[in-house]
Amino acid sequence: MSNASSQVSSTHAAVTSRGLPGRSVLAGLLIGVGVAGFIDETVFHQLLHWHHSYDKSTPTAGLVSDGFFHAGSWIALVVGWFLIADMHRRRATVPRRVLAGGLLGWGAFQVYDGLFQHKVLDLHEIRYGVNLAPYDLIWNISGAIGILAGIALLFGSARPISLRPGVDVPETAGQHGQTASR
Amino acid sequence: MHEHTGTGGASGWVLALLPLSIAALLYVLARRRLVSRGGAWPAARTWAALGGMLCLAVALTPPLADRTGYFPAHVAQHLLTVMLAPLLLALSAPVTLALRSLPVVPGPTGAPRRLLLEFLHSPLLRVLTTPLVVAVLEVGSLYGLYLTPLFGALHDHAWLHVLVHTHMFLSGCLLSWLLVSPDPMPHRPSVTVRVVLLIVVAGGHNILAKLMYARALPAGAGPVEEVQLGAQWMYYGGDLIDVLLAVALLAGWYRRSGRALRHERRRAASLDRTAPGTIAPS
């Protein structure tokens, strides 16, 4: 019994001091991809009408790729927020790693959309009837900067919210972060 | 009123309302029986059951049922019966309610409950709840209905109409139950697998709506503008309900893992109290 108790305490200490960095990155990634997909869909497709996500010349491969990405990005957003909520009640969120994942996810979506969907699959362009070069450059370079900044934030020390100054940690908070993984 | 096409005019929709009313009544009676014996039943589940029945009733009665020739009305019916109603009915946990309120006795009185349990553990249900089977049933039958001449044939044969829509409703129920229902389901896949299944199905809905819009399908559903309007309703309505499915799925996970977390904390707290200095018997 005393063995079990010290195990619980040490797990408790490990989780409160490290938080859940891996899951923080994952939640950030999902939200980053989701937000990029949401902006792509609502701002560029629906509001500005710059993109045509579908016209009659759209090849089927592009349609399929776009369809799964569209559905996936909504669902990624929902899953990402629930993961954050779960880590928050465990006081195990690592904000720096969430940001790292978020920038990575957003940048990766941007570059995937810009290089693969726009160019390789020829799904649609950013805008029609204008010189595309500056748009393509801004689109892809902003994505690349997101990826690089995200990678940079994956390194270096990062503290979970339980160790932030001014945050009271309840006696038994933050332990056994792995119970929810299924 | 009597000469309308569709599910067979006024007598058709009165006939459709009858089983719905019986089902709603059974749910309310079962809940009352459970509560009168001291059991608890969340009010949200009862509202979900009644909401699901209401969706079906709205879809099967006029004005919607009168206007199946107008394609957007058909799409509204489709979204109500095949997506929204199954989601609400799955959340209402009718199997759990039945298992808790049906009598547990030997002999014929206890037979309904035994049959239900037998069905839950049957090989048929095990095959039907395999994610791949669910995806094929759900997406495959949609593509079969809307992208082939099958849709046109429904208008000529009333029995085919009833058969196809019952099949679609049951596939919708299968998907919703697998993804979000609190009801027991042996061999239910993990949350991760269910999220992937939802992405596949939602992507399938999205692609189907765009194909219908671009190619003005299904054939024989009316003027191109009406078909395109219907396809747009399918696109946005389908997206909305797929997001609701995702929220319900993740909310269920959040609630269950919260319960596990509270349990864990109570256990750790009691261990921490007994640990220092004392040697507890192992």
Residue range A37-64, pLDDT digits in tens: 888 777 766 655 555 555 555 566 667 7
| Residue A123 clears pLDDT 70, i.e. is over it | no
Å between A7 CA and nearest CA of chain B = 10
Q: How far is CA B175 from CA A26, A156, B123, B179, in A?
A: 26, 44, 18, 6
Nearest by CB to A180, from B190, B205, B260: name it: B260
Boundaries of every domain in chain A: 21-164
Nearest by CB to B250, from A5, A78, A89: name it: A78
> Among all residues of chain A, which has the CA nearest to that of B189?
A182
Number of domains in chain B: 1
> Greater confidence, B95 or B226?
B95
Residue among A21, A9, A14 nearest A160 (CA): A21
B157, part of any domain: yes
DSSP letter assigned to residue A155: S
Contacts of B165 (CB under 8 A, 6+ apart): B81
B226, part of any domain: yes
B181, part of any domain: yes
Task: Mark yes or no for CB contact B268/A172 under 8 Å.
Answer: yes
Window 171-200 of B: residues touching A by CB (8 A cutoff) are 190-192, 195, 198-200
> Greater confidence, B151 or B250?
B250
B271, part of any domain: no
- Residue A83: the pLDDT is 95
If you average pLDDT over every residue of chain A, what do you get? 74
B85, part of any domain: yes
Q: Please check whether residue B12 is in contact with residue B65, taking contact to mean a CB–CB distance below 8 angstroms.
A: yes
B267, part of any domain: no
Task: Give CA–CA dist B198/B200, Å, rounded.
Answer: 5
Residue among B180, B204, B202 nearest B254 (CA): B180
B132, part of any domain: yes
B111, part of any domain: no
Token pair of B262, please? 């509270």
- Structural domain boundaries, residue B54: 9-104+127-257
What is the CB neighbour count within 10 angstroms for residue B158? 14
Residues on chain A touching B198 (C-beta within 8 angstroms): 75
Å between B260 CA and nearest CA of chain A = 7
If you average pLDDT over every residue of chain B, what do you get? 87
Residue among A52, A35, A11 nearest A178 (CA): A11
DSSP letter assigned to residue A1: -
Quick one: pLDDT band at residue B281, thresholds 50, 70, 90? low
Residue range B8-61, pLDDT digits in tens: 455 677 888 899 999 999 999 999 999 999 989 999 999 999 999 999 999 988
DSSP letter assigned to residue B137: I
Question: Strand, helix or coil at A21?
Answer: helix
Task: Give CA–CA dist A137/A114, Å, rounded.
Answer: 9
